[in-house]
Structure 1
Amino acid sequence: MTPPAPQSPSIGNEVPSSLRELLASVANGTVGVDQAAGSVASMMRQTDDGKMGALGEVASIPGATVDLGRRDRCGFGEVIYGEGKSTDLMIRIVETQLGAEQSCLITRIDPTSAAQLRRHFRHTHHNPAARTLRIAGQPAQLVSPVLDDAIAHVAVVTAGSTDASVAEEAVETLTWMGIAHRRVEDIGVAGPQRLLAAVPALRKAAAIVVIAGMEGALPPTVAGHVGVPVIAVPTSTGYGANFAGLTPLMGMLTSCAANVAVVNIDAGFKGAYLAGLIATQLIAAEKDAKERSISQYEGV
């Protein structure tokens, strides 16, 4: 009687596409076995009984369910929205993410909670103006990438200095994503010559986050000078008819500039995240093209 074939450990009913792509890379020789083993380990988590859990699983902790598989599915890990969360809960979430070798970004965190988390974790960066806290396993992960015009980066533009706090949230988000940025500050439409002076630098960006309050005219004005996506972030800066950001929001949504997309009021994180995804795709494409060029040269 033929013995039954050995069964592979169950990893759920559906194999994630990231695992299929990794196995295909091993099969065609573009990824080594050791590198693939490390990637598989990062996709899996250890359960309470010491066994390895399913790929892309979540981690259930008191008060939260941490999506540890999000980085493999979406490119970046789960971001913690700090407003309304207790310090103890945020500590437990961060410990879970660091245990999975994922750096952490907390947005809308108050100074008291930020101070308590900084005492609890070793490698942190608090930006009070942005109301953000970044936490990492290694100090090098907290450093902003060096700006290089030859590498895809994001420009963060403000209409006025009163929009700075939203811009700070955008910058902290890009730094957490590992995307270099260029800041262009206080170039609102009241002084159009300031924008014209900045246009050459803006044209080098992969995407531009434009942050503006008042009537919200800056994003479409910038968009008319560049050939890249412009992510418009309306702010609550302005007098009564600004309606706490509703006026610039509606103005940006009704812009005739085709390369403008709009996020929510004061949403520096969301604007930067979208722009960062655009830059990430370009960086990956440039890397793949370079590797293919090297492979073709070596094969000659």
Structure 2
Amino acid sequence: MTRAKARTSNTSQDQPSDSGADRFSPDWPDIAVLPSGREDSDNDPGSPFVPSRPASPHPPSDGGGESDLENDEETFPASLDAKQSQKARSPRWLPWEDRYLAQQAEKLRLFAQRGDERRKAWDGLAVDLLKASTINGKPINRTGPACRARLEKLLDAQRREQTRSLQLTGTNQEVDDHLEAQAGLATPAMNPIKRIATSLNPSAGETNSLTLSRTVMPLTPNDSNKRASSNKIAITNLWPFSIELSKSRISSGIGKLTDGMAALANAQAALLNAETNRSEAAARMQYEDSERRRIDAEHRAAEAERHASLLAAVSHKK
């Protein structure tokens, strides 16, 4: 750069300074070739050196762009899988997802299993839930522990007579259909309660039975309030029967306990009598044995005395 500046300054000193009158615009041909870079400056030794603008560096052609695209294609499914796994563990469940979960849980009955078998069963429930929801509409991709936690939460809400579930979508949405499927899961004594209801009021019992055993299907917004109120009425009608059933079971249990205690006392008395009889029999046998020995001793003594008298008589004769 220093040499170029020096050459430029020397050239500018050698050229005469033009006044305003001597200045003129050169006539360029119609087709002119503009100077381009170092070649024209080399041909004209008097012209100053004008360095050409370096070209912008191009990216290496070793497949780097393709690798970036491949990385983008790899990160996109990874991020998608991460979102899916995050959604599978998310606590956000919609009412229709709860209904599908209750249906699958009612079919499989997973609470009777333990340990690894229960974990495998819940994983299988998650797979069945995904298949069933995919066939009927939008897929529900959840993990087995997430399904178990959600169902336990719903059952706890059912035990506390809650017919609304606060969803994380920002609104209180009606969750009433899945309560019908959960009624058999939440209360093991539901069948005796239905029998009592049928015996007391056949029409009400049949209505409750139909309400509890009906297949759950998605509702329209117009039918939601009606179904919610009917579910509340059905659950409210069943509670007095459950209380009476519990009282009768408690009283029958107390009666059975009293009978058991009386039977135990009788058994203890019989055992004591048996011990007394055994001791009396042993004493009687011992007494009889001693009497027999005494009689035998008396007989032997009499026999010895008779034998002695005979010997004395024989010796006296001699």
Q: Normalised by the size of structure 2, how large is the TM-score?
A: 0.23
- TM-score calculated relative to the size of structure 1: 0.24
Specify which structure has the higher proportion of helix: 2
Q: Hey, which of these two has a bigger chunk of strand by percent?
A: 1
